[in-house]
Chain A
Amino acid sequence: MRIVGGTDENNSLRIEVDVIGKCEEYHVAALFDSGFSGSVAVPVSVIAKIGANKIAVGSVIVADGSSHIVPVFEGKVRVGLMEYDAPILVLGNDVLVGMELMSRFKIYAEASVGLFYVEEVPIIHNLTESLHSIRVD
């Protein structure tokens, strides 16, 4: 399945996702930040809205090398029709998706019209088994 994203007024890539908590879901055009190694980061207002259990704390290292303590919440992210378990960081003023989530996808850009396309990449868990199942006639 192919999902279409677009660029915003700053030419940043955005993709529509649902951030899923215990109580509610939050639909948003999230900023795809390829420099972010995690799955999803949301402002505190979003976590308050969707309801989620805090499950961990950790340090996040930012571009200038400084570190910040962030809480990590249990949650899921829906991209298209697929849901993925996602540790949710509470940080900043925008909803970001990062490489831990987006590395599941192939991403194609049509820069002239400000669109990009996202397709899920199938994960081959057992390459040997998969190769044996291929018939060559």
Chain B
Amino acid sequence: MVVLDDEQILEQGLRDYNEHFKMNLEITNLGDYFVYDPITKDHFVSSNLSSGLFEMRRRYPGRVFFSIRIGEKGVYKFER
């Protein structure tokens, strides 16, 4: 089984998100959370991160996923 480290997951996930998902999802699901497995290329979009992680964990137990909030640069932010 292929195992990626955190930086690889982030880099691959962000690249795939920007190339294949970002444009459409920012129209249809702005503000939702995108959870993605860079190995299987499977993903799930949900209104909260917990639901997305739960569903992807159900599909692929033991994996670590890439996550981002659609329309943002990251999954969460600190404004102060």
Contact = CB atoms under 8 A, between A and B. Distances in A.
Contacts of A16: none
A58 B66 contact: yes
A83 interface: no
Contact of B74 (A55, A59, A63, A71): A59
Size class of the contact patch on chain B:
20 to 34
B45 to A, nearest CB: 14
B21 interface: no
Interface of A: 33, 35-39, 54-63, 67, 69-72, 74, 85-87, 89, 98, 100
A111 B2 CA distance: 54
30 contacts: A35-B78, A36-B79, A37-B76, A37-B78, A38-B49, A38-B76, A39-B49, A39-B50, A55-B57, A56-B53, A56-B65, A56-B75, A57-B65, A57-B66, A58-B10, A58-B67, A59-B14, A59-B74, A60-B74, A61-B72, A61-B73, A61-B74, A62-B78, A72-B53, A72-B67, A72-B75, A85-B50, A86-B50, A87-B50, A100-B48
Interface of B: 6-7, 9-10, 13-14, 35, 48-50, 53-54, 57, 64-69, 72-80
What are the 6 tightest A-B residue pairs by CB atom distance, in nearest-first order?
A: A58-B75, A59-B74, A35-B79, A35-B80, A38-B76, A61-B77
B64 A57 contact: yes
B50 to A, nearest CB: 4
